[in-house]
Amino acid sequence: MFNRVKLTALRLLPKNAVSRAFGVVSDVPLPPGVRTAVNQGFATIAGADVGEAQHTPGAYRSLNAFFTRRLRDGARPIEAEDVGDLVSPCDGKLEQFGSIRESTLVQAKGRTYKLVDLLDSGRDAERFENGHYATIYLSPRDYHRVHSPTEGDVTHLGYVPGYLFPVNPFAVDHIDHLFAVNERLTTFLRNDVGEVAVVMVGATCVGRITLAFHDCRTNGSFRRRSDIEVPEDIRLEHGDELGMFNLGSTVILLISDPGFEFDPGLRPGTAVQVGQFLGSSSRGSA
């Protein structure tokens, strides 16, 4: 009964409007005298490690600036030696990973969703058939910037407007096809081994998703599905900054190479960090 009430409340809540409003409020400059208290207070409640940030909490002029703080140099070593190596694009919890079987990905126990629904493009989905995927959940305590999991050329972007349901464990366990109905922004990368897609999934109170190399941003007042071309000379290396969330959300990695193998030490629920080795392509390591 309680779960049904929660689900009904989630469906009725004007999530996109609330998230845009939250984004506006979080950007309001804080008076210098309260910045430390507000930002440190959020860090304490969320459990964020402020010691890893470039600056102390009082140096960030707004709550959003603190949400999207950069890490100090050297805080996240990049564990990649070869073009075929894949590293974690973000800090968070590795919720699900494995092979894409019959165009299907696992959301949670007993819940699946289709690759074509996630990407909203049959042409894009076809390239990842028989490949692999990994789903990483970022909680409010985590570092909110996303980095490139591989080296490669950015071929294009895909933006799909949608709902902004929360992506916390309760929502993942109870809302069908959650990642395929929420707003999402996908960066497609190509290298000599194959293709990797980085799907950044929006969520309630994620005021927007932005990219480091393009002016695209999500959750605007005018929203429509679009394939976005990018300049031909954009190339990212392992660990380069790709984009950021405002608060927490989810990143889904898609790997086209059927021969890719995940690190055998990984388990669902494992905490991962930016740059941590996730696996390697057999062709890349040959």
Known catalytic residues?
91, 147, 249
Per-residue HEC secondary structure of 8-68 comes to: HHHHHCCHHHHHHHHHHHHCCCCCHHHHHHHHHHHHHHHCCCHHHECCCHHHCCCHHHHHC
Please write down the long-range contacts of 210-216, taking CB distance under 8 Å and 24 or more positions apart: 210/243, 210/244, 211/157, 211/185, 211/187, 211/242, 211/243, 212/240, 212/241, 212/242, 212/243, 212/244, 213/154, 213/242, 214/157, 216/157, 216/159, 216/185
Please write down the long-range contacts of 122-126, taking CB distance under 8 Å and 24 or more positions apart: 124/158, 124/186, 124/188, 124/197
What gap in Å lies between CA 55 and CA 262, rounded to an integer? 35
Main-chain phi, psi angles of 37, to 5 degrees: -65, -45
What gap in Å lies between CA 276 and CA 271, rounded to an integer? 10
279, 285 contact by CB (below 8 A)? no
92, 203 contact by CB (below 8 A)? no
What gap in Å lies between CA 253 and CA 233, rounded to an integer? 23
Main-chain phi, psi angles of 149, to 5 degrees: -80, -5
User: Minimal CA–CA distance to 218: which of 156, 134, 157, 177?
Assistant: 157
